[in-house]
Each structure stands twice: as structure tokens, then as C-alpha cells.
């Protein structure tokens, strides 16, 4: 469930005029921008962008970039792009503009989509950067990480709901044996994780839990160091999911941390950036 | 250019009736079947199949399977399926029904299509077998072959025509150095071959030829043992390409072997199977 609150009807012309006014003269009226753009869904924002360009002969996204700054600018910029284009930008930043490859974003984005929808993101990536996501990714990592990530991103998984119980059993055993001998990079673990359908994989993990009375995710968590949260991750998750399933994420966040996500955001961010995120989280302003 | 000769107009009802007649009673009139089905394109065959089922309440493909036998049956069966479905069947046979994995067919099919069209084949595979092509493939091979094939099949390459000349130079060097040290399975060779766009890869191979005065394909040919031709390959190529580029293949075949493909087919095959292949090769009958 989405958290975004937006009117069923809106006038793109009125919106474009109000945005223009907020950007004009000295300073920018960030509150006005948030009150409009923080309450429009993807197709409404697309129409506003088009209308604005027709009315003022100026690209709205570029104008906003020049008016705003810092994390607020980044968040608004991502919010204004088409969802597929936005995720292509996030993936590109994760691969090419970080000192070390930001694999968290890559895994996250490749997992929240259906194979079909993730393909649209890959097509948006190709249209924008004239290269495939896979080739950029493969070029920017090596060894086990490459083996895992290129397959996670590349393979067009089956999306059906069938479960092969025998297979779940045999592959749970394969994983158990590989982990027992501490081969976390075992070729078969990579194959199972990267190629099986989500439903089948879930069955295998449940089987693992039943047979070996421990959940695989716990084993893996022990094997990985946890990376800290930063503004970029907060922006990514809230902007990408506000129109999708942010309500569910809020619930899970609360269950795990006994603190609401809204509270955490207002504690760790500030100013227009905070106001914008809280708006996308469904707070009225 | 295609070799298939077919009428612009045909009556699906007349075709269905003629096929029914050819299948009825003792024995089958193979000549009649070839004279109809060997001169109908994919969409015409689809309509015939549908019309036949409506008229006689019987699946035409199943009926043909029960009437025919041997290589002729296989060829007709493949010819009657939708192109994507047919190639899904060919891939499935190559992966699961051979004593050893038939990687020639797999590489061939994944290379002749555009990334977009190959995706339709992968979707047809999923619809038919309720699993992804990648997961079946990964399960049926290991090591270097798995690394190479799963990526060749899985990765959605960029299909644009841009060439990065600097990249072509640097990757030609990478390949040269890997080959010099006899590391044909070098991680970087696999990355380059499996992720770069076809245009970029061609630029890299040309650059390799210019800089190292030897073509990479020659080097690789020396590293591989050539496998013999068999009926299955002949069927696959002729059935898959008759509506596509078989004319070009015929020309190339003649240039390489100084014998026409038609002649070779009539020398190495016989009976209805031969007649059917020659029909698809554009011979009138």
C-alpha cells in the first residue's frame, strides 16, 4: 500500500504556474513546491512536467535542480523522474559514482520488482546511458561479487507460483552442505539464489529452516557486516516506494524498531528535506 | 532473406480440409502435407491450426505427430509451432533431453535473435515449462560452461549501434593478454563476450585483428574441436531460418563449401524428410 496522498483531480496548468511562482525571484518557496509535488502521483507529475515545459519553454527538472540543493534537491530530482528512469539513475549512481560499488541499492532494486517490471528499468537504463546495466555492473566489480550481482540483475526469473517440493528439499541440502564447509561463495549457492523463482526460493528457505532448525537469512546475516544507513538510502526507499508499498514498510519498520519510521525520519533529517520525506510518508501539511 | 515460398492468400478452411484428407484412412499422404504446410508462413500456419481444431475438434499438431515419424515428424512438428514456442522446445531438448548438453543450439539461438526477440523465446519457455530457461540451463551444466552459457542466455544486451573505440582497444588488449597466457576461461574474457553489445563486440574483435594481425575467431577455432553435423542441426537451422535469413545462409554455405546447401541436403537426407527440407529451402514442388 502506498503512503502518497494526492487529489484525484488537479489542474496541470495551475500546478505549473504555482511551481513557476515558487521558483521566481530571490530565494525559492520550498514549502509551496512540497505542497504541490509531494501530493502528485507519477502520471500527474509527468503531465505537470510536460505542461510546464510547454508553458515556459524550460525543463522543469533542470529548473528544480538549479533552485534546490543538498539532499532535498536529490530527493526532488528523483521524485520528478519517471519511476523506471529514476531507478535507472539510482542504479547508475550505485555502480559508477560511488567510491565502492553500492551493492545494497542494486540488490534492493532488482528484488522489489517483478522480472517484467525490472526489465523496463533495464530498458530505461539502456536508453539513458547507451549501455546495458549488466555490462556496466560487470565492469565495476570482480570475482564473487560479480558472479552474484550480474546474475541477480541479469537473469529473467520465472514469476509463476509453482513449487517443486522435491527440488526445495534437495537444494536446501545443497545449501546446508556448502555452508557447513563454510563455502558461502559455492557455485551451487550462487546458482540457486540467482536462478530460482522467488516462490521456489522461499520454499527452499522454509525447507532449510524446517530441516536444519535455523533460518538461512540468520546464517547469512552473521556472515555479513551490516552497513550504516545514510541519507541516500532513506531517499531511495521513500521516493521509490511512496507510490507502491511504503505503508507496509512503515508497519514492518515499527515492528522491528518499536519506533515509527516518521519519527526516525524527523529525528535524523531536517529542513525542507525532512518536510518532503514526511509528506511522501503520508503526513498532511 | 527468407527462402519460404508461400501464397499471399490461402483459404484456411480448404487447407484444413486437405490436411484432414491427407491424414485420413490407411497411410498418410506426406506429399500433400508438404505441398500445403511447406508453403505457409508462421501466421498462416497458426490460422490453419486454429481452423483445423475448430472444424474437427482435434489438435492438428498432435494429429501430425501420430501420423508421421522420424526426422520428418520432428521437422514438421517444429515447423507447426509458433516460432518462439518452437525455439523454446529446441532449447529444452538441448538442455534436458541430450546425453550431454547441446551447447551449439543454445549459443546459436541466443545469438541470432535481438535481445528483445530472444526475451519472447524465454517467455515462451517459461509459459511451457513453468521454469526459466536460465534455471534449467544452470542446473544442467557446471563450471566454465555454466558461467559462459547462463550469461550468454541471461543478459539483456544493449542493442544500440554506438561504438566506444577506446573501450574496444582496451578490451582487445585484455583478451590478447588472457589468450597469451592460455587462460581461455579468464573472467574478463567471459565478461566481455557475455555483456557487451554485438556492435561493440564486433569493434573489439576488429581491433584485435588490426593490433594482433590474427582474428580471434581463428584462435578460438583452434581451441575447439569441431562437432559433426547431424539431422537435428539441419532441421533446426532450416526450420528456424526459412522465414528469416535462409537465403543468406545458402549463399554463405556455397561460398564456404563450393556446393549448394540444396545439394548437400539432398545428398545427406532422403524421403519425405528431404522433400520437406527442400521445400523450405525454396524449391518448388
pLDDT tens for A126-140 read 999 999 999 999 999
From the list B130, B160, B195, the residue facing A130 with the nearest CB is B160
Best mutation target among A91, A127, A135 (most B Cβ atoms within 10 Å) is A135
The nearest CA of chain A is from the CA of B213 a distance in Å of 26
Q: Which of B86, B88, B94, B36 shows the shortest CA–CA distance to B230?
A: B94
Helix axes A103-112, A83-96, angle to 10 degrees: 150
- Of A38-42, A172-176, A228-232, B117-121, which gets the smallest average pLDDT? A228-232
Q: So what's the pLDDT on residue A257?
A: 84
Binding residue per annotation — B228?
yes
Contact call for residues B143 and A166 (beta carbons, < 8 A):
no
B134 chain-A contacts, CB cut-off 8 A: 155-157, 195
Q: Could you tell me the CA-to-CA distances from B177 to A49, B25, B171, B183, B212 in Å, in that order? A: 50, 67, 10, 9, 11
pLDDT tens for B36-69 read 999 999 999 999 999 999 999 999 999 999 999 9
Specify the higher pLDDT residue, B162 or A268.
Answer: B162
For residue B200, give the C-alpha cell.
561493440
B185 chain-A contacts, CB cut-off 8 A: none
Assess whether pLDDT exceeds 50 at residue B4: yes
Specify the higher pLDDT residue, A230 or B144.
Answer: B144
Query: Average pLDDT in the A35-42 region?
Result: 93
Best mutation target among B120, B125, B132 (most A Cβ atoms within 10 Å) is B132
B191 chain-A contacts, CB cut-off 8 A: 138-139, 146
The hierarchical CATH code for the domain A83-154 is 1.10.220.10
Q: Which residue has the cell 505542461?
A: A51
Best mutation target among A123, A162, A191, A203 (most B Cβ atoms within 10 Å) is A191
pTM: 0.82
Q: So what's the pLDDT on residue B98?
A: 83
User: Is B107 strand, coil or helix?
Assistant: helix
pLDDT tens for A231-249 read 888 888 899 889 888 999 8
- Of A141-145, A164-168, A180-184, A237-241, which gets the smallest average pLDDT? A180-184
Q: Do A131 and B197 touch (CB under 8 A)?
A: yes
Contact call for residues A124 and A84 (beta carbons, < 8 A):
yes
pLDDT tens for A190-212 read 999 999 999 999 999 999 988 88
Q: Where are the domains of chain B?
A: 83-154, 165-213
The nearest CA of chain B is from the CA of A136 a distance in Å of 9
Q: What is the ipTM of this complex?
A: 0.77
Nearest CA in chain A to B157: A132
CB atoms within 10 A of CB A252: 12
**d(C-alpha B274, C-alpha B280), whole Å:** 10
A146 chain-B contacts, CB cut-off 8 A: 187, 191
- Of A241-245, A267-271, A281-285, which gets the smallest average pLDDT? A281-285
**d(C-alpha A228, C-alpha A57), whole Å:** 42
Arithmetic mean of pLDDT over chain A: 89
pLDDT tens for A91-137 read 999 999 888 899 988 998 998 889 999 999 999 999 999 999 999 99
Contacts 24+ apart (CB under 8 A), B31-34: B31/B272, B31/B275, B33/B64, B33/B68, B33/B76, B34/B272, B34/B275, B34/B276, B34/B279, B34/B285
Nearest CA in chain A to B196: A135
Assess whether pLDDT exceeds 70 at residue A27: yes
Contact call for residues A132 and B197 (beta carbons, < 8 A):
yes
**d(C-alpha A52, C-alpha A54), whole Å:** 5
The hierarchical CATH code for the domain A165-213 is 1.10.220.10
Binding residue per annotation — B27?
yes
pLDDT tens for B171-196 read 999 999 988 887 766 889 999 999 99
Q: So what's the pLDDT on residue A218?
A: 66
> Largest alpha-carbon pair distance within chain B?
68
Q: So what's the pLDDT on residue B220?
A: 56
**Burial call B117-131: b when 16+ CB within 10 Å, e when fewer:** ebbbbbbbbbeebeb
B189 chain-A contacts, CB cut-off 8 A: none
The radius of gyration of chain A's CA atoms, rounded to the nearest angstrom, is 21
> Binning pLDDT at 50, 70 and 90, where does residue B224 land?
very low
Contact call for residues B23 and B67 (beta carbons, < 8 A):
yes
**d(C-alpha B214, C-alpha B222), whole Å:** 12
CB atoms within 10 A of CB B57: 7
**A interface residues, B as partner, C-beta within 8 Å:** 119, 122, 126, 130-132, 134-135, 138-139, 142-143, 146-147, 150-151, 154-160, 162, 187, 191, 194-197
Q: Do B151 and A154 touch (CB under 8 A)?
A: yes
Q: So what's the pLDDT on residue B112?
A: 87
Query: Average pLDDT in the B109-115 region?
Result: 90
For residue A163, give the C-alpha cell.
513449487
- What residues have CB less than 8 Å from A38, skipping those under 6 apart? A276, A279, A280, A285
Q: So what's the pLDDT on residue A227?
A: 47
Q: So what's the pLDDT on residue B226?
A: 41
Q: So what's the pLDDT on residue A228?
A: 47
Q: So what's the pLDDT on residue A231?
A: 82
Assess whether pLDDT exceeds 70 at residue A84: yes
Q: Which of B167, B171, B134, B45 shows the shortest CA–CA distance to A131?
A: B167
Same fold, B83-154 and B165-213: yes
Amino acid at each position: 500500500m502506498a503512503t502518497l496522498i494526492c487529489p484525484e483531480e488537479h489542474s496541470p496548468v495551475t500546478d505549473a504556474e504555482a511551481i513557476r511562482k515558487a521558483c521566481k525571484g530571490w530565494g525559492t518557496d520550498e514549502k509551496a513546491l512540497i505542497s504541490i509535488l509531494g501530493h502528485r502521483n507519477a502520471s500527474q507529475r509527468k503531465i505537470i512536467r510536460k505542461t510546464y515545459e510547454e508553458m515556459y519553454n524550460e525543463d522543469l527538472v533542470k529548473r528544480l535542480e538549479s533552485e534546490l540543493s543538498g539532499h532535498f534537491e536529490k530527493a526532488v530530482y528523483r521524485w520528478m523522474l519517471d519511476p523506471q528512469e529514476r531507478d535507472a539513475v539510482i542504479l547508475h549512481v550505485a555502480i559508477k559514482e560511488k567510491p565502492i560499488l553500492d551493492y545494497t541499492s542494486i540488490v534492493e532494486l532488482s528484488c522489489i520488482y517483478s522480472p517484467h517490471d525490472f526489465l523496463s528499468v533495464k530498458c530505461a537504463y539502456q536508453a539513458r546511458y547507451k549501455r546495458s546495466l549488466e555490462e556496466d555492473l560487470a565492469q565495476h566489480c570482480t570475482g564473487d561479487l560479480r558472479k552474484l550481482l550480474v546474475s541477480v540483475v541479469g537473469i529473467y526469473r520465472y514469476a509463476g507460483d509453482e513449487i517443486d517440493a522435491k527440488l526445495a528439499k534437495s537444494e536446501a541440502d545443497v545449501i546446508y552442505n556448502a555452508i557447513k564447509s563454510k563455502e558461502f561463495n559455492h557455485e551451487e549457492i550462487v546458482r540457486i539464489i540467482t536462478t530460482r523463482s522467488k516462490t521456489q526460493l522461499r520454499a527452499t528457505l522454509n525447507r532449510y529452516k524446517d530441516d536444519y532448525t535455523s533460518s538461512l537469512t540468520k546464517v547469512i546475516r552473521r556472515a555479513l557486516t551490516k552497513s550504516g544507513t545514510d541519507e541516500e538510502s532513506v531517499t531511495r526507499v521513500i521516493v521509490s516506494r511512496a507510490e507502491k508499498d511504503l505503508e507496509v514498510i512503515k508497519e514492518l519498520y515499527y515492528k522491528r524498531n518499536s519506533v515509527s519510521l516518521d519519527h526516525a525520519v524527523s529525528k535524523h533529517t531536517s529542513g525542507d528535506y525532512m518536510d518532503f520525506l514526511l509528506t511522501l510518508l503520508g503526513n498532511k501539511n
